[in-house]
Amino acid sequence: MTESDNELVQLCLKENALAQKRLYELFASKMNGVCYRYARNGEDARDILQEGFIKVFTRLKSFKGEGPLEAWIRRIMVNTALDFIKARSKNLFEDEEKIDVKNHATNPEVMNKLQSEDLVNCISKLPEGFKAVFNLYAIEGFSHKEVGEMLGITESTSRSQYTRARTKLEQIIQQRFKVNEYERV
């Protein structure tokens, strides 16, 4: 943790409103991106962000400063997003549709044209369970074992859901760019 982060945390712990506002302003934009990856829409992302920052401020006294403040806040946002998803979805990891998990080779031209914003939009169209596993493993960098522990599923279920998420994501990307079997390399 940087010295300026430490000072900011100490002021926030003293309930200094300006420091709390500064902390929010420093991290809200990045954390909104994290929340959006797990949400169905912008409104859900804002709800997760708001709930997450409430948790940040109420739990700030438990921050030990052993790592970066941003990483600690990110973890709270991810956990808040997962709680939000779990509250809405009882059968989060049941297949809503059968997905063909054959090995697909996506058209390289499509992949080259794919912008990060397009990818985020495509990820947001994944079913909730797939999206959670995909984000935790591929974006946040957790292991399948950690993903399983966070979501209350087995490591093998995490692996399976990730494989299916990738396949579904490829289908979404191909559909978005109207790629058909004849255009594949």
Same domain? 70 vs 134: no
pLDDT, one tens digit per residue, over 36-87 is: 988 878 899 999 999 999 999 999 999 988 889 999 999 999 999 988 887 7
Please give the average per-residue pLDDT across 145-150, as a whole number: 90
Number of domains, the chain:
2
Give me the domain span that covers residue 145.
Answer: 108-183
Same domain? 121 vs 73: no
pLDDT, one tens digit per residue, over 79-132 is: 999 888 877 765 555 444 444 444 444 555 555 556 777 788 888 889 988 999
Q: What is the CATH number of the domain that holds 124?
A: 1.10.10.10
**pLDDT at 89 (0 to 100):** 63
CA distance 51 to 115: 30
Asked whether residue 75 is assigned to any structural domain, the reply reads: yes
Q: pLDDT-derived band of residue 162, with 50, 70 and 90 as boundaries?
A: very high
CA distance 1 to 33: 22
Tokens for 24?
């929010």
**pLDDT at 185 (0 to 100):** 45
Please give the average per-residue pLDDT across 136-162, as a whole number: 91
